[in-house]
Amino acid sequence: MAAYYVTRTTYDSHAFFGRIGSFLATAVSNLTAWNDARVTRNALASLTDRELDDIGLVRGDIDLVAQGRALR
């Protein structure tokens, strides 16, 4: 009976491509969060002071709301 041995150099490509995929997923997630904050900030900034008061906000709260931070 003959034995056949194959030696291959493995570069652990699954881990490498997994890291690339993870990096891309993180980048897309960060870009999406930034865009959501930008859209929210622009929408709130376009409201009048009276409209902001109706929803319980002041102009200084816009950045906090856009970043997703809780108000008092």
Summarised one tens digit per residue, pLDDT across range 35-72 is 999 999 999 999 999 999 999 999 999 999 998 886 66
Summarised one tens digit per residue, pLDDT across range 9-26 is 666 666 777 888 899 999
Phi-psi region of 9 (alpha: psi -120 to 50; beta: other; left: phi over 0): beta
Q: Report residue 17 as tokens.
A: 């491509």
- Report pLDDT for 15: 77
Sorting pLDDT into bands at 50, 70 and 90, what band is 34?
A: very high
pTM (2 d.p.): 0.68
